[in-house]
Structure 1
Amino acid sequence: MVLARPHVVRLLTATLVGRLPTVMVPIAVILLITTASGSLATGGLLGAVYSLTAALSQPVKGRLLDRYGPVRVSGPGAVLHAATLLALPHAAGAHRAGAVAAVVFAALTAPPLEAGLRAMWPRMLTQPAERRAAVLLDSTCSGLVFITGPLLTGALAAAHGPDAALTVAAVLGLAGAAGVLTSVPARSWHPTSRPVRASGRLLTAWLGGLVAVLTGTGLSTGAMNVWAVRLADENSAPALTGLVPAVFSLGALAGSILLARRLHRASARRHLVTGSAALQAAWFVPLLAAHHHPASGVTVAAMAVPGLFHTVVTTSVVLTVQRLAPAGRRAEAYAWLILAGGTGHALGTALAGALSTHPLGGPVLPALGAALTLAAAIRTPAHTAPGVRA
């Protein structure tokens, strides 16, 4: 069993903790700015700025990881990121420009723990079955991040204000990064020399298609988070801010358990297209529930349905990259996936914030994101990357 392999449990746990700020900070920023300015549109915009900046910087961080390793890249980043989060409430209260600058700098310095972990799997695990199992565990951990992060942020913000949520995010980010960076695999990372065939353009048709797929899923989740804030505000129920994304992530966790029974190497693309089609259909469940039962338990419970198929899509994408990414550029390839999800998330957050008083600000935008996911999945090439052995 892959969990019995050395360092696997430690790296999964530490990365899980270290990635919580990536979910907590955008929600906390939305709440912080909305409280300070009274404008959900402004809060949604700055939350989108954080997600977009963090996403756009991922390929550069991935390239640095491939070249220098996680200790030299993620270590300084984790310290600067935590310090900026602690200063963010003061910057937000002083001037809007200060808040924007702090949000951007926090995003730029966020350590690339997710890309680093995925790039370490082939270094630690020699058997293809073990690597596939590790990817599924990684997806399950991602589900836990998206369950715990919104719930923790919503609870802290309701009890102590958004400042407390940012403080806890800073502490968790530092603790998780420390757990990863003091591990043997991270400290013994040696850059892989790039073969000639891997030195060219990485964003070719196969990876570009997968980037488009995850952009659609990111748009859905970003819009969903703002919709959750809107529901909480309309119904004077702060817990909905974290409860809606958490129920979605519970569905994603269930999806990873079901997928584990059907995971085969040759079926990654079939799972991708099937999962994308199911995801598109599944978003109509909360859409109809919200129309007939606004802000009720039925609407919240319905969020688990699209979450169920979200894991199928994202796991299929990661498995494809694991098989096709050339040696020496794996972290960069995974970073493009994170860029895609983050960019889509930022776009969804910004659109939902701008349309916060319009019907499209509800679950309609997530459904549109799922439509983009399906269209991209259908068009993604089934063949391998040129010059890369499958």
Structure 2
Amino acid sequence: MQGYLNVLRTSGLRVPLLATVLGALPIGMLGLALLLYVHRLTGSLAAGGLAAAAFGLGNAAGMAVQGRLIDRYGQARILALVGTACATWGVLLVAAAPTVPWQGFAVAASAGMGSCVPATTGSMRVLLAESVRGTESRTAGYALLAVLFQLALLTGPLVTSLLLVLAGPGAAVVTGGLLSGGAALLFSTTRASRKWSPARTAARGCGVRGKRGLAVLLLLAAGSGLSAGIVLVAVPAAALALGTAADSGVLIATVSAGEIVAGLAFGARRWRWSAARLLLVALAGSAVTAGLAAWAASSLVLLFPALFLVGVCGGPSAIASSALLDTLAPRSALTRSYTLLVSAWLVGGALGNAVGGAVTESLGHRQAFALSACWIAVLLGTGAMFRRTLETAPEVVESEKRSWEAG
């Protein structure tokens, strides 16, 4: 717990953390809201899955571009600009989609909205790395960021479910866009964000290309995202088959609840295992629990605890991946590396949305859960094969790490 206290006591980090939570809420809302909104417009779950996939792909591309721009021009003005654009896209999508005859408009607008989701979490990750001293305290900071992020993801589907009942999925889409814009503006006005200087980290010639360990980590992140994307479509499909559309938000929130519990436990203790080994253990648990979800997917009563266990294994996986960046990526490109990690996960998630929509519509939601479990098993084998690569840092990273600790 001391690590958590050290982070919270660090000057200037509390308001950016709050803005990060607010900025993560729409991420938990918009994938589900867009899926259900397009499903209502077209009557097709596959079309809804394509809209969610387009949102994820746009988000991935936007994150990668924002990471490079932030490392060059700073956080505040980039975040404010893209946050305002995200809110504008949400209003435009809901206002125009019912009247535009082209059915692909909603998918294209979903991609545009996704590309403008502000990178507040990535920016906060960099502020933690630069502001918190000591490896254990920084790891606790990454765990706290992951827990707060998952808390927002847990709340997001619940807010979506409430808006579905009160005003429909279109209201959830607009609300998500406005929250993104407001969170970005709040983050960009904080002292920590305005004072952050890219010149301190963006050393010339230190990029992210050619790092084998980072490439393997990005591959695993993309694969994990694909599995999560399949689940994201399988869950509302299960809710529609076994209950109501509003149950989908509660089911997705159950996954986030498991990730929060596991994340708090992970960050509260000191681990002797390497981050790479912890990542492999988490993947093994995810494969087992995804298989359990497939078995339980014939009953909502059984599906709730199964999805909670899926989250319990997913939380440590995300934290271990973030911690690995401290040894696999140079600090001069930390924003780009983290946003690339998120982008890889989002690209995988977008593909998973499309695959999940096709599988659930043709075979059913239980088969989609089973496919997710099999895919994670493949990832586990890949990670075990390249474990040594994940645990070996390039010389430039080691040099920067020593300089950072000395400074």
TM-score band, normalised by shorter chain: over 0.9
1:11 to 5, 10, 16: 16
Q: How many residues align?
A: 386
Residue matched to 2:374:
368
CA distance in 1, matches of 2:378, 2:97: 34
What pairs with 1:30-49 in structure 2 (closer than 5 Å)? 30-49=35-54
Cα deviation, 1:63-112, whole Å, max 9, x if unaligned, reads 11111111121111100110110121123212323323322221222211
Amino acid at match of 1:157: L
CA distance in 2, matches of 1:262, 1:274: 17
What pairs with 1:324-335 in structure 2 (closer than 5 Å)? 324-335=328-339
**Secondary structure in 1 matching 2:81:** helix
Q: Is the deviation greater in 62-71 or in 92-101? A: 92-101
Cα deviation, 1:140-163, whole Å, max 9, x if unaligned, reads 012112211112112211331011
CA distance in 2, matches of 1:181, 1:277: 39
The question of whether the paired residues in 2 share the 8 Å contact of 1:202 and 1:333 is answered with: no
CA distance in 2, matches of 1:361, 1:152: 28
The question of whether the paired residues in 2 share the 8 Å contact of 1:217 and 1:341 is answered with: yes
Q: What is the percent sequence identity of the aligned residues?
A: 27
The Cα of 1:385 is off from its aligned counterpart by: 2.4
**Secondary structure in 1 matching 2:107:** helix
CA distance in 1, matches of 2:128, 2:157: 28
Amino acid at match of 1:100: V
Asked if residue 383 in structure 1 is aligned to residue 392 in structure 2, the reply is yes
Amino acid at match of 1:285: L
2:25 to 5, 10, 20: 20
Amino acid at match of 1:340: A
1:251 to 218, 240, 258: 258
CA distance in 2, matches of 1:7, 1:265: 31
CA distance in 1, matches of 2:164, 2:381: 38
Gaps of 5+ in 2: 402-407
CA distance in 2, matches of 1:159, 1:336: 37
| Change in CA separation of 1:158 and 1:366 when aligned onto 2, cut-off 3 Å | farther
CA distance in 2, matches of 1:217, 1:326: 23
CA distance in 2, matches of 1:262, 1:81: 38
Residue matched to 1:302:
306
The Cα of 1:376 is off from its aligned counterpart by: 3.5
Amino acid at match of 1:351: V
Residue matched to 2:405:
none
Cα deviation, 1:319-366, whole Å, max 9, x if unaligned, reads 010233213211000011101110111111110111223146531232
Residue matched to 1:167:
174
Amino acid at match of 1:387: V
Asked if residue 216 in structure 1 is aligned to residue 223 in structure 2, the reply is yes
CA distance in 1, matches of 2:166, 2:149: 26
The Cα of 1:197 is off from its aligned counterpart by: 5.7
CA distance in 1, matches of 2:55, 2:395: 35
| Change in CA separation of 1:203 and 1:229 when aligned onto 2, cut-off 3 Å | farther
The Cα of 1:388 is off from its aligned counterpart by: 1.5
CA distance in 1, matches of 2:277, 2:12: 32
The Cα of 1:203 is off from its aligned counterpart by: 5.3
Residue matched to 1:341:
345
CA distance in 2, matches of 1:369, 1:82: 35
Asked if residue 135 in structure 1 is aligned to residue 135 in structure 2, the reply is no
Gaps of 5+ in 1: none
Cα deviation, 1:211-246, whole Å, max 9, x if unaligned, reads 122222212221112112212222341222111211
CA distance in 1, matches of 2:220, 2:77: 31
Asked if residue 225 in structure 1 is aligned to residue 232 in structure 2, the reply is yes
TM-score by length of 2: 0.90
- Report the RMSD for the aligned CA atoms in angstroms: 1.9
CA distance in 2, matches of 1:162, 1:196: 46
2:96 to 66, 91, 112: 91
Residue matched to 2:85:
80
Q: Is the deviation greater in 188-197 or in 350-359? A: 188-197
The question of whether the paired residues in 2 share the 8 Å contact of 1:55 and 1:338 is answered with: yes
CA distance in 2, matches of 1:387, 1:75: 33
What pairs with 1:149-160 in structure 2 (closer than 5 Å)? 149-160=156-167
2:248 to 226, 241, 249: 241
| Change in CA separation of 1:236 and 1:284 when aligned onto 2, cut-off 3 Å | closer
Q: Is the deviation greater in 136-145 or in 100-109? A: 100-109
Residue matched to 1:198:
206
Amino acid at match of 1:164: A
The question of whether the paired residues in 2 share the 8 Å contact of 1:326 and 1:388 is answered with: yes
Cα deviation, 1:36-85, whole Å, max 9, x if unaligned, reads 10001011111101101211332221011111111121111100110110
CA distance in 1, matches of 2:24, 2:150: 11
The question of whether the paired residues in 2 share the 8 Å contact of 1:29 and 1:43 is answered with: yes
